[in-house]
Amino acid sequence: MRMLLKVQMPVEKGNAAFKSGALQRTIQSTVATLEPEAVYFYPEDGKRTGIFVFEMEGSWELPPMLEPLFENLDASVHVTPVMNGDDLQRGFEAAGS
């Protein structure tokens, strides 16, 4: 299932993580773990924010992918299923539209 992960971290913890290299290492390991089809980083509400679009087989995969973000970055996370255009069309067809 295609998922969207949004990650935000507090400014002070993000600054400390940047200075120690933990931010860079955590982002690199998250990308390696998720193998996302897309990744974007941007400031939102004054916080470092990133979004990752990736495939997930089951909810059991959440702890190993999210725990480093919590532990290393004090991050808040939001995970939600998403669709691309092909997925949406398939859904419409299944719904009888």
Residue ranges making up the domain that contains 82: 2-94
Q: Tell me the C-alpha distance between 57 and 38, whole Å.
A: 17
Beta bridge partners of 77: 7
Q: Tell me the C-alpha distance between 6 and 49, whole Å.
A: 7
29-39 residue pLDDT tens: 999 999 999 99
Residue-level pLDDT at 12 = 95
In the chain, the percentage of residues whose pLDDT exceeds 70 is 99
Checking if the pLDDT of 97 tops 70, the result is: no
We report the CATH number of the domain holding residue 73 as 3.30.70.260
- Our count of domains for the chain comes to 1
pTM score above 0.85: yes
Residue-level pLDDT at 18 = 96
32-70 residue pLDDT tens: 999 999 999 999 999 999 999 999 999 999 999 999 999
